[in-house]
Chains A and B, each alone.
Chain A
Amino acid sequence: MQDFDLTAILLNPEFRGMLVGGLWMTFVVAIGSWCLAMSLAILLLVVRLLPGRVTEWVVSAYVAYHRNVPTLVQLMLWYFGISSLLPDDLQIFLTDNNGEAVFAIIALGLCQAAYFSEDLRSGLRAVATGQMEAARALGHGFVGTMRYVLMPQAVRNALPALINHSVSLFKNSSLAMAIGVAELTHAVKEVENQSFQTFETYLIATIAYLVCSLAIMAAGAALNRRVSISGAR
């Protein structure tokens, strides 16, 4: 093992470029799949509120599948499996246009949507039933009740769980490396292969991951403090 020398990695423009590019890709994958997951989670929640047993069953099957199958297997099913069923033109288009990242965003987003929608649902269930009745009695329609009375309380209740799951989504973006997305963990392997400075490379990436995760946790805690109402249940 060579002497410990962080600058050999950090001051080398090629290695630094690879790591920064990797970090950028990690953000693209994490933020892209977060947006997909959150929109889908809200959709799932709305579908679940509709009357009828079929919709209820479909949503709970969706949630059960995505929570009980390892994320890496879901990624592989999308990237190796479902991509092979697509029409040839689309396959070629995706191969030329960073298809790995597209599939990673889809797979991670669909998977995390199950967690987010469950968080929102238990947040909603924790709101007292009287709230709904009171809002309706005051003349709000169903949508108005949801928008102005129930959801603000539900999101408050769900916030700690949503933040925890956002952190895991950020961490899980590293799995995209297994299907060849050039994100941070992937860049780390490349830099390590070329520089032989394994310890330093891993240390830089670990600190980068840790700083981002802790920042999400801290921002979440600050948000939680800001929106929580003292004395509320």
Chain B
Amino acid sequence: MLWDLIDIIRDNWLLLLIGQYPNGPLGGFAATLILSTLSIALAFPISILIAFARLSKNPLLLWPSTILVYVARGVPLLMLILWVYFMVPLLIGANVPGFVTMLVTLVIYEGAFLSEVVRGGIVALGRGQMETARALGHSYFGAMLYVILPQALYNVMPSILSQFVSAIKETTLGYVINVPELTFAANQISNQLLTKPFQVFFILAIIYFLVCWTLTRLALTLERRIARKRAGMPGIPLSLNPQSQTAEL
């Protein structure tokens, strides 16, 4: 059993790492990491805009952003992937690779969930910060940019990291539309070997576990450090926990 695992890894490590890269599209673990990193990087600025819209009193901003967040929270990611798979070629008039479909879906989905994290950070900061900044002569957006956001984003850093872990886990759904990533590579190996599905999927689970567990530990350490720092500051609730809002898959 153990020898099977070692054999499979020895024979297929390159496929698991980069897919069929020089001869085909980049896949495997590299594609998983690129996809999740890009999706969080692109979703982050969008999420700040959505959070602003969710906090504004203008119904033209408030309503669409609220609907977007509730749709993302209420509809399975798989359904969203099907929508993007169908709509994007219609809108731009050309076929796009599965990688792009998955990226667009994840940016929308993660953007909505991250916006709740950012909004939680801003709300948890309390009104005093905004009022003080306005009293000192900042405009609303000046106060947001120079006073509120730097503090709020610093405080929610651990939640952003756990959202990144969610994004890594969500890239596995690309398998359904044949995006060449880690889960897809494992399925290829399993189909090749035919007789060792347990061993192959066990290896797959271990790889995901090692990566996500390390990042989760990192988020926890970061959270403790930030909580310690904030313990010295009065007026900020320590029980800020937007994590219960994040998606998990």
Contact = CB atoms under 8 A, between A and B. Distances in A.
Interface of A: 1, 64-65, 67-74, 76-77, 80-82, 84-85, 115, 160-161, 164-165, 167-168, 171-175, 177-178, 185, 188-189, 198-199, 202, 205-206, 209-210, 213-214, 217
Nearest to A188: B82
B187 to A, nearest CB: 8
Nearest to B90: A1
Given A167-B73, A178-B175, A209-B75, A81 B244 contact: no
Interface in B56-87: 70-71, 73-79, 82-83, 86
B165 interface: yes
A202 B82 contact: yes
A217 B176 CA distance: 28
Contacts of A214: 70, 74
A211 to B, nearest CB: 8
Nearest to A214: B74
A167 B247 CA distance: 10
Contacts, number: 127
A84 B76 contact: no
A115 B248 contact: yes
Nearest to A211: B74
Contacts of A198: 86
Task: Indicate the member of B75, B78, B165, B248 with the most A CB atoms within 10 Å.
Answer: B78
Size band of the interface chain B makes with A:
35 or more
Contact of A71 (B187, B198, B249): B249
Contacts of A70: 168-170, 172, 183, 208, 249
Q: Is the interface of A mostly helix, strand, loop or mixed?
A: helix
Given A77-B205, A85-B198, A68 B75 contact: no
B144 to A, nearest CB: 28
B202 interface: yes
A171 B76 contact: yes
B197 interface: yes
Contacts of A68: 165, 208-209, 212-213, 216
B198 A69 contact: no
Contact of B78 (A69, A161, A175): A175
Contacts of A202: 79, 82-83, 86
Given A68-B208, A209-B79, A82 B172 contact: no
Interface string B173-199: 101100000010011001000000111
A206 B79 contact: yes
A181 to B, nearest CB: 12
